Amino acid sequence: MRIFIAVDIPERLKDKLRGLQAEMKQFNAPVRWAAPDGFHITIKFFGEVLDTRQPAICQQLRDIARWSKPFEIHLERLGTFPREQSPRVIWIGTRPEDDRLKNLASTVETAMASIGFAAEEREPSPHITLGRIKGADNLFRLMTYINLYRESQSLGSFVVDNFYLYKSTLAPTGSVYEKLQAFPFGQ
């Protein structure tokens, strides 16, 4: 089973993200746009994991959630991965000062390493994937728009008070996400 841990996005912000996608779609660049219903911020991606490992993962996540307190994050900073010169992913990130989400991701990494999962070597970069670039046609206009709003795009904030274990199923139209379990903070 292909799984990951993520923070869900409130509907009011999903609507704003839909609007941002609509603005960028006008450039007719070859982008496979992410389905707004699936918008999330990944904390830890596992990839394929045996079903028998899920109870240990969930126990670690319950422990982390029990001691976590709600915190606010801000969605802003439109950008691309891996580099501006060869973009593959269009994303919206969180405010750099929103350290609590990065701290949560680091805590999850440490806990998962303690039960045998390889730790991510890169520093967490919390973001929501808006689309995946599939070619270069009309990309100049889209990148001009992204660069214009790279630092100034602000969509609002929300309180993180839980996270989820998700299952991801690959389909021809893109990944399909299913929430397997919720981990509310303080419980």
User: Does the annotation count 74 as an active-site position?
Assistant: no
User: Does the annotation count 40 as an active-site position?
Assistant: yes
d(CA 49, CA 105): 19
Of 14, 187, 161, the closest CA to residue 73 belongs to 161
Longest dimension (CA), the chain: 50
Q: How many CB atoms lie within 10 A of CB 156?
A: 11
The residue annotated as part of the active site, out of 34, 40, 57, 60, is 40
The residue annotated as part of the active site, out of 21, 98, 109, 127, is 127
> Buried b / exposed e across 132-144, counting CB within 10 Å, b at 16+?
bbeeeeebeebbe
Which residues are catalytically annotated? 40, 127
